[in-house]
Amino acid sequence: MITPELLKRNKRIMSSFLIIKPIALEYQLLNPYEVPYGYIYCVENKLNQKKYIGSTHSNWNDIQKPDPINILRKRASQYIYEYNSGIERSESTRKLLRPIIRAMVEDGIENFMFYPLAETQEYTHIKAENYFIDKLDTITNGYNARAKGVWGNSIGRTLTIQDKILRSDKVLAINLNQKKLVFADSMKLLGDFLGTSKDIIKNNNRSGRSHMGWFIFYINREKRFYVLDHFVINDNLGIQKRGNPRYHSESSKKFYSELYDSVSSYIDRSKSELFTDFTVLDPLLYENVK
């Protein structure tokens, strides 16, 4: 459950987790007026100096010089939410967490720091990430489970239904016009149901907007609240590549907040007057997929 104490705790974690170190000159863009496409970052275990290399980028193309702190804070906050989710898991299911998150759960996130390594252009972004993975040897002696774009945990074996469930985000989709709602084991299954892709489902979920009349909410309380707080209320959606703003109007924020409250009441306590006359469709479960 999201509480003021949890939000304060996350803020304290962020203050020591995100370290804005100066980027070495050789890894900065040569043109001081060029807008960085993104950043390569490192998550380092302060106890054993093992590292994880990742990348992040911004779509705020209309801003002449996007603030790297905001871009990096957004990515760092996702680690904090993954960590909070990981510590709630049972010992038997923690082994399915990403190696870096599993290490955070085992050693405590207070023993990790997140900092930038390089600025990137779009055409150098993936190459730069792989360069630092090789340079710092983070596959053999770190937490990267990826070899040139392939996730190591999936190599050589077929995922079981339980694997898919544990790796996926359960969601609730609700259509106010049709008065229907449906639970899904993953955004992939919901996308198949609606005849669209997982990415489109994810993007509309995170933007707090509907797709084909369906609003999509995480079942996980923290992730559900993060969308409301970060992307809707605080307008961190940025700008589309074609330059159109993605901000919510005040009326849109009010509408989504009220819907969020009703959905949260329904999910957490199976109670909401708003949905008493809705049709609950058969859940979209992996066990039913042939």
Domains and their CATH numbers in the chain: 4-154 (3.40.1440.10), 163-288 (no CATH)
Q: What is the dihedral of CA 66, 68, 71, 76, to 10 degrees?
A: -170
**Could you give the C-alpha distances from 182 to 71, 116, 275, in angstroms and in order?**
34, 41, 12
Q: Is 87:105 a contact under the CB 8 Å cutoff?
A: yes
Nearest to 221 by CA among 259, 263, 254: 263
> Alpha-carbon torsion 113, 119, 122, 123, what sign?
negative
CA neighbours closer than 13 Å in the CB half-sphere of residue 257: 12
Contact between 262 and 271 (Cβ < 8 Å) = no
pTM of this structure: 0.54
pLDDT in tens, the chain (290 residues): 556 777 788 889 999 999 988 899 889 887 766 777 889 999 999 999 999 999 987 654 444 455 667 788 888 988 998 898 888 888 877 877 889 999 999 999 999 999 999 998 877 888 898 899 999 999 889 998 754 443 334 434 455 666 666 677 899 999 999 999 999 999 999 999 999 988 899 888 888 889 999 999 998 887 888 888 878 888 776 554 454 556 788 898 899 999 998 898 888 766 667 788 899 999 999 887 76
Q: Which of 289, 247, 278 is nearest to 62 (CA)?
A: 247
For the stretch 212-224, pLDDT in tens is 999 999 988 878 8
